[in-house]
Amino acid sequence: MMFLCKQKNIFFSLFLFITIFFPSQKILAIEKNKRSDSQKIILDLFRGRLDKNLFSSFVKIKKPVPYQLKNLIKEPIIKKSLIKMTTNRSSQIPELILNWGSGSPKARTFKNQEVTNFFSNLFYEIIQMGKKNQLFISLNTTDLFHGHLVFIGKKRGDLIIVFHAQEYPHDLPFTSHNSRQAVVTHKLILKGKKFGHNTISFKKRNFIWSLKENKIFNLDTDRKGPFFPLIFPTGWVKDQELKELALLGNSVQDNLLGSNLGSLNFFPNQNIPLYWSP
């Protein structure tokens, strides 16, 4: 029994390592002549060269991108500009919620309500996409609640958000702890839902929004698809144990696409406005 507990702790630590530490790592994977096929497809997509056959589904966002966000990608240092656009609200967020999303102790809300509404709407758009494509995705602390902001390129840069839905299945060793916390231990605050990983929804749990295209794309990470390599942190595919762990997690690694700018966290069931964690 003690061995099983230790094993679960190891798996859980590895999972945190994937979801928290890897996204903040900067990898120059999109430099010229260093791109994988999947990265090239992503870059071509955000330059307006869309091959519809490569994506499970996509949707054009009806709401126009706020001008503050359009101007953002023209700034020399985007992270500093984001800080100027936001206000520190860390002390107003319950500690349990604050640490739940990205593991960051910081929560900054946008000063402009239009920006907050636009980003919040992207989460609801993913829910609607799911319904249309028989994907059972919901907004809660075990499923969809965060997205990673990433800046791609330099001269022709784009701001994207990598969303991970179906975050904490109850039946994986490295996510069962969080599922239990949200569904049982802290259910009054976290209000999570129990679900398993052997579903189509989990297999298609990765979504990307592009500012330039103003579209959300659902990435199919099937082994035969072009986006399969994106679920492996650098070096993991060469280690069988780590490779299996990445296969189970099925998380598109945002740091393989560009420079990480922190994450957006959204907990509407807790009446907490969308916030950015740098």
Q: Is 121 a residue whose pLDDT tops 50?
A: yes
Q: What is the pLDDT of residue 71?
A: 93
Question: How many residues appear in the chain?
Answer: 278
- What's the pLDDT band for 111 if we cut at 50, 70, 90? very high
Q: What is the pLDDT of residues 79-93, one digit of tens each?
A: 999 999 999 999 999
Q: What is the pLDDT of residue 41?
A: 75
- What's the pLDDT band for 156 if we cut at 50, 70, 90? low
Averaged pLDDT of the chain: 85
Count CB neighbours of 27 within 10 A: 17
Find out whether 219 and 111 touch, Cβ atoms under 8 Å.
no
Q: What is the dihedral of CA 190, 194, 196, 197, to 10 degrees?
A: -20
* Selection from 242, 236, 217 nearest residue 227 by Cα: 217
- Decide which of 40 and 95 is more confident: 95
Q: Is 35 a residue whose pLDDT tops 70?
A: no
Q: What is the pTM (predicted TM-score) of this model? A: 0.85
Q: What is the pLDDT of residue 220?
A: 86
Query: What is the extent of the structural domain holding 102?
Result: 2-277
Structure tokens at 4: 């099983």
Q: What is the pLDDT of residue 159?
A: 94
**Distance, CA of 199 to CA of 134 (rounded, Å):** 11
- Decide which of 260 and 5 is more confident: 260
Q: What is the pLDDT of residue 268?
A: 97
Looking at the structure of the chain, the number of domains it has is 1
Calculate mean pLDDT across residues 22-36: 38
Q: What is the pLDDT of residue 46?
A: 61
Find out whether 112 and 190 touch, Cβ atoms under 8 Å.
no
Structure tokens at 241: 């144990």
